[in-house]
Amino acid sequence: MKVKVCMWILPPMRYGRRSINQKGDSSSRALEAMEMLYPSSERWDRVNLGKIAQGIKQGVALRPDAPGQELTYGEFEIESLEECLSAATHGLKENNVDLLDIGSGTGRLVMCAALLFPEWSCCRGVEISPALYADADARRIRAENQGLLGPGHVHFACANVLTDMKLEFPHTNLFFIYATAFPAPRFNEQLRAPILNDEWTRAIRRIVSTSKCKHIRIATTDRALDPHAGFDLVNVLPNVKNRETFGSALYIHDVLPEPSFLSSPPPHHN
């Protein structure tokens, strides 16, 4: 897919902490910048790129139980992102927010977060598909060249978080996962939520354990994290606007000290 270069240049965005009066204006300008970087008219081009990256042939639909569903390309509702990220950072004990989007695709969520919250230290994304990673990084370069992003404010990496043991994110204190299509074989009655499977639970624990931050938050869509693995559910947004799924729930977790779950054999669930 060729990414079109749009020459519409927005006024330079100010970098620094926003006042309450600036919030509405900066949000509108962030959405305008996102439409320039990720035109609505090209959405299906991005979706098709995601399908190719997932190995789906054109015109073929996957079964709901088919393996690899977590590779499904999706575009989270941009209009809902500020609400979700504001809720996820509410009460975060560290002032500097460093975001990592796991499964960042073409970088849309990461870029929007950086535009909405220019005062954050860094917005990062990690993506398994080389094609999607390359698309995201090309958009990052364009945004920096056009003055929409400060240099070094956004970083993308291409890696498999399930298998790459060398991944480290020492400064990250906010993790986001658009987990709607991720495997969740169990339902927790107490949390009233489907729970991500053991493979992903272990991978996420491993990733967050590389952070040196004292207070770490993880926000996930439509799947909660296993409380027995040291993830404490602290808030839920039950009615997040998301046209892809006719609505989503956002689960916000605090990361507790590493439990014995990680050093024990994987539990078996029917």
| CATH, residue 242 | 3.40.50.150
In whole angstroms, what is the distance from residue 170 CA to residue 143 CA? 26
- The answer as to whether 16 is a domain residue is no
Contact 171, 121 (CB under 8 A): yes
The DSSP call for residue 224 is B
- The answer as to whether 135 is a domain residue is yes
The total of structural domains in the chain comes to 1
- The answer as to whether 182 is a domain residue is yes
Contact 222, 230 (CB under 8 A): no
Contact 249, 240 (CB under 8 A): yes
- The answer as to whether 96 is a domain residue is yes
147: number of Cβ within 10 Å: 12
Kindly give the parts of the chain with pLDDT less than 50.
Answer: 1-21, 60, 62-64, 66-67, 69, 270
Kindly state the tokens that stand for 112: 């929007």
Q: What is the CA radius of gyration of the chain?
A: 18
- The answer as to whether 106 is a domain residue is yes
In whole angstroms, what is the distance from residue 27 CA to residue 32 CA? 9
- The answer as to whether 27 is a domain residue is no
Kindly state the tokens that stand for 168: 């480290």
The pLDDT score that the predictor gives to residue 73 is 56
Residue whose structure tokens are 């906010």: 174
Structural domain including 108 reads: 81-259
- The answer as to whether 186 is a domain residue is yes
- The answer as to whether 31 is a domain residue is no
The pLDDT score that the predictor gives to residue 24 is 64
Contact 122, 154 (CB under 8 A): yes
Task: Confirm whether pTM is higher than 0.75.
Answer: yes
- Half-sphere exposure (Cβ direction) of 235: Cα atoms closer than 13 Å: 17
